[in-house]
Amino acid sequence: MNSQFRNVAVIGKYQSRGIAEPLGEIAAFLKAAGVGVIVEKETSENTGLTGYPIATVSELGPLADCAVVVGGDGTMLSIARLLAPHHVPLIGINQGRLGFMTDIALDEKIAALTAILGGDYDAEDRNILQGTVTRQGQVMLDTLALNDVVVSRGAIGGMIELTVSIDGRFVYNQRADGLIVATPTGSTAYSLSANGPIMHPNLASIALVPISPHALTNRPIALSDNCTVEMALTRGKDAGAHFDGQAHFTLMEQDCVRVRRSEHRIRFLHPKGYDYFRMLREKLHWSALPPSGSK
């Protein structure tokens, strides 16, 4: 097969039961197609997938022309955050529950990969966030988030209080369980559970979504993704900043969390004819029929 992808990384949610077999099938298919296969180190160690070059996620960036990620959205989030600076396109094969980003069904993996390797695919670029935590002017954490940046109360604390500014202009003092800054990709994640809007991935926007606000007039706000959101913690013990639910930082009062659009983007490769709205219907059961015998 004459593919534009000469070297493809294979990455799996190795804690998932039964994943070794599909990972082996994918690696064998790629090798038979004449594509160089690189298996992510922890995937290899935990599934027994050997006989291929091995590399850590951080080493994959310069080596891979594309990455096949087998698992759920959590697996995709962790890989996307690490590979984003290297601009490695991602193919998601779902072995999780919802699979908003891992959109290829497990039993369709070979057919989908055959088409994509042959150049028959839809590419989709999505914006990600750059999140920075500062304390007394010093940067304590600087990281990426594909879904969202969340400032929230801890397990034992009460409501927190935040001073929220956009592009240096005061917006409000927020008293709530927390505040979510979500990308369009993240609008179907935690933000959706907090009554945030679903935003099409092509929108150049971010959403500011309160979590259980004390004032019911505090509603979600859609913003341009050119803006910078600042959230200063004015009151709240045990509060934290969370980036895609994977990078965490314990906040102190007067810490500031600054969120802006990153210079990096994530590219997803979908089978030809990918339909975002069909995906929403399937994942959110908008068109599901009621159970037999129900009213």
The residue from 65, 73, 103, 122 that is catalytic is: 73
Q: How far apart are the first and last CA of the chain?
A: 53
3 state DSSP class of 105: strand
**275 has catalytic annotation:** no
Sheet holding 205-211, edge to edge: 221-224, 205-211, 178-182, 148-152, 240-243, 247-250
CA 263 to chain centre: 16
| AA letter at 191 | S
Burial 119-157 (b: 16+ CB within 10 A, else e): eebeebebbbbbbbbbeeeeebbebbbbbbbbbbbeeee
Whole-angstrom Cα distance, residue 58 to residue 287?
41
3 state DSSP class of 75: helix
Which residues are tagged catalytic?
A: 73
